[in-house]
Structure 1
Amino acid sequence: MTEITGKAAVVTGGGSGIGMGLAKELARQGASVAVADILLDNAKKVADEINAAGGKAVAIHCDVCERSSIKQLKAEANAALGPVQLLFANAGATSFDPLMEMSDDDVDWIIQVNLMGVMNTTRAFLPDMIAAGDGHIVATASMAGLLPGWIPVHVPYSAAKAGIIGFMMNLGLELKQHNVHTTSYCPGGVASGMKANNSRYRPARFGGPSEAELQITDASFKHNDLAFFSPEAVAPMVLRAVRNNRAFVFDHPDQRRYFRETYSDVVEACYDDADAYEREQGTPAANPEGAKLIGAE
């Protein structure tokens, strides 16, 4: 079980949306919080609200697309709060454009902020957790990563979020011996304000910020009955999963049917095909030398 009270936490993308909800709930449950965001004014507003309510928070600028910025975040968080034992790698961006209509900068930004931002933030804070033998890392993935065929016109985003899930699951195996846990949070519909604010978070090296509103076409949603919860409503669900050391946390239990459509139906059918092939053709002979690569010395 992961304790929250009395711990120091970092939340990237903490100035708005899901990150804001997580930062406030962490403080409500007794953690001190470094609210990190590429828009410092947003982070300051959240930190001020936490402090006014009797909690402890600091606002820190961070662009998770830059390793140097993440290192600076760690230095400032440690100076203000001490060793960080709870990391919420939440910063992200999205797009709903067809792949071949996206520029190189579009694709690079989505992959860099969503996947590499999580990986590099984790790499910065993980050594201290391993040394302490205590810690928990939460990465905000998406149902679009768990079920990549669920939302069309979402290719780089789905790829990045699926990458987060693979990263966190494999890292969890690596960290068992160190008492450090990992959780992938897969939001299924949260009113985060991303539609209006997404372009404001874009770093200069990927074209820079703008006030353009995110365009979402009808083709992006197979189902139009999606309920959107508030960040404040989902944050306690996430922290409950953290306390229980869950590998995943979902916020829409009714979406179980999409999981079944994707895996129980599609994947099971593929295994049925593999079984049928072996019945017809026989099981392929195993390589007598095991996993040795053909032609390897």
Structure 2
Amino acid sequence: MAALYRVLSRTMPVAVRGSGLRAFSYQHIIVAKKGGQQNVGLIQLNRPKALNALCNDLMTEVNQALDSFERDAQIGAIVITGSEKAFAAGADIKEMQNRTFQDCYGGNFLAHWNVICSVKKPVIAAVNGYALGGGCELAMMCDIIYAGEKAQFGQPEILLGTIPGAGGTQRLTRAVGKSLAMEMVLTGDRISAQEAKEAGLVSKVFPVEKLVEEAVACGEKIANHSKLVVSMAKEAVNGSFELTLAEGTRLEKRLFHCTFATDDRKEGMTAFVEKRKANFTDH
């Protein structure tokens, strides 16, 4: 992975003409297309001196990159990563230190962080090193979390006299259960990558140097399916976190029915019957 990061670090943080990316000039992230078919978008958080602390400008750039990949018909999945030392060590405390209640409440502070949750394409977090506070929350906003074997997850806001403010108390509890989530939030203690996997927070753990490669491979696998149907499947799974079982199964059934209005559903079933590989067109 060190080699990958060196390559990415030499990449100009400006969208490439003709790449399908909108022409933003990025200061805090590096954006690239990965995979054999260039169908996986990669966003690397790039504030190494601050351990990728999530300042307002960085999150704005992440949202811009996500929007570019969302609009790019070639892209079927997105990977968000950091460095080998830190995915993101938290929100930028210097930016928050002197904020008042009126500033936070009146300006709906951190609201723009939730943009990632509205992205229709699957987003994979590739977490190496520290994923603490806002970094852990950012990872949990993604659809899949892969972790490097030295990753650490935590919600240490209690040590700063505050609480998680970007979904930490909610998503962590849904992922690992009340007892572990309560322990992490109330003590500020961290858990390892292996503990996170055992608790259900991450799906797979890889050697540090293989992590981004494996996350991109997962993205490629997803991107080779019908992008239209993948978005439907993502919507159905996400519905399980917000709806009752009866409401969720109704949503699932309606989305299942919707697939029968697509060319890709017909192609997929026809290819299966004819014992050949499906050729999806995202229609």
Could you say whether these structures have the same fold, taking a TM-score greater than 0.5 normalized by the shorter chain as the test? no
The structure, 1 or 2, with the larger RCO (C-alpha pairs under 8 Å, 6+ apart) is: 1
Q: TM-score w.r.t. structure 1 length?
A: 0.32
Quick check: which has more Rg, 1 or 2? 1
Q: Compute the TM-score of the two structures, normalised by the length of structure 2.
A: 0.34
